[in-house]
Amino acid sequence: MPRLAAIDCGTNSIRLLIADVTDGTTTEVLRTMKIVRLGQGVDATGELAPEALERTQQALEEYVEIMKREHVTDLRMVATSATRDASNREAFFGMAAKLLGDVVPGLQAEVITGEEEAALSFQGAVADLPADQEPFCVIDLGGGSTEFVVGDAEGNIAGAFSAQMGCVRVTERIMRSDPPTETEVEIAADLVKDQISTATTLVPISEARTFVGCAGTFTTIAALALGLEAYDPQEIHGARLRLEGLRPILEQLITSDAATRRQQPVIHEGRADVIAGGAVVVSGILDMMEDLAGATELVISEKDILDGIIASIATR
């Protein structure tokens, strides 16, 4: 059976999924993540920082060894927001090509557009949801961007938009104090509101019946909402959270400092300093869900762009 691998290198983390695919059925073998903060300072300098490239290279070297050990036969690596914005992105792609070639000769990482990122995230996020809950609105909140995509269970996309807001971008651009000041939070909320306004003009979000949140900010907030003592993907995946119950959690994340957030066992150490920015984005998203669609709950998915990438390899 083919053993496939997907790598997603975003602004904050680099993630790996290895899966077996047989007769259209996907069986997860391994899923792992490392915080490398590739997008460190990109919003201000327009370049990938040398130390960020070094962290990413070290993580990718580990992933290559894992893929070789697991006898991966084909893979696809995509790079999203940070590399789309960086003037020196070729340094990243040269490094990635050299390492990936040890697994599949000639393979290179790909820069994908925000729209393709949204479509792949959608495909992964709705895989376990029943068709009678469509149309779905999948919201993939990353480090540098947030994708909004509406579609049905068959994967037909009605609209998609990549908003230039994410937990790292909002933190580095605006919420630099620890904890953030009230003024910083207000400015960040205005940015989020503007980006969401654009999304709602381009994507038929009001037609969505089910809202799905995926990626690290959403899943971490879900772990807090569920009162987990340790991060447990099985408990988080498919959780349905009442919006009214999320508001106090978001407020606490926004007003506390990074040291206090790190005391929460479900918050990854590399996410503690930027999750307040992510919480401001989530707060704006909840407002949108209530105002546009009268939504009262949010479904959390542990599946996302990685699962969409695996599916894209299996069908190419």
Q: Is the pLDDT of residue 275 over 80?
A: yes
What pLDDT was estimated at residue 267? 97
pLDDT above 90 as % of the chain: 85
Q: How far apart are CA 117 and CA 80, in angstroms?
A: 7
pLDDT at 209 over 80: yes
Which pLDDT tens digit goes with each residue over 80-135?
A: 767 877 889 899 999 999 999 999 999 999 988 878 888 899 999 998 999 999 99
In this prediction, residue 221 has a pLDDT band, given cuts at 50, 70 and 90, of very high
Non-local CB neighbours of 258 within 8 Å, separated by 6+ positions: 178, 179, 272, 273
Which one, of 204, 182, 217, 186, lies nearest residue 288 by Cα? Answer: 204
Q: Which fold has domain 129-301?
A: Nucleotidyltransferase; domain 5 (3.30.420)
Quick check: helix, strand or coil at residue 216? helix
**Topology of the domain comprising 3-111:** Nucleotidyltransferase; domain 5 (3.30.420)
Domain ranges (residues) in the chain = 3-111, 129-301
User: Rounded to two decimals, what is the model's pTM?
Assistant: 0.91
Residue 309 has pLDDT above 90, yes or no: yes
The predicted pLDDT at position 161 comes to 93
Q: Given this chain, do its domains 3-111 and 129-301 carry the same CATH topology?
A: yes
Q: What is the pLDDT of residues 41-63, one digit of tens each?
A: 887 888 999 999 999 999 999 99
- Do the beta carbons of residue 60 and residue 41 sit within 8 Å? no
Average pLDDT of the residues in 285-302: 96
Q: What is the structure's pLDDT at 86?
A: 85
Is the pLDDT at 2 greater than 90? The verdict is no
- Answer whether 38's CB lies under 8 Å from 52's CB: yes
User: What is the pLDDT confidence band of residue 71, given thresholds at 50, 70 and 90?
Assistant: very high
- Residue 138 pLDDT more than 80? yes
Confidence of residue 11 (pLDDT cuts 50, 70, 90): confident
pLDDT of residue 315: 84
Give the residue from 233, 200, 201, 207 showing the smallest Cα distance to 218: 233
Share of the chain above pLDDT 70, in %: 100
Q: How confident is the model at residue 23 (pLDDT cuts 50, 70, 90)?
A: confident
Q: Is the pLDDT of residue 180 over 90?
A: yes
- DSSP letter for 269, please: T
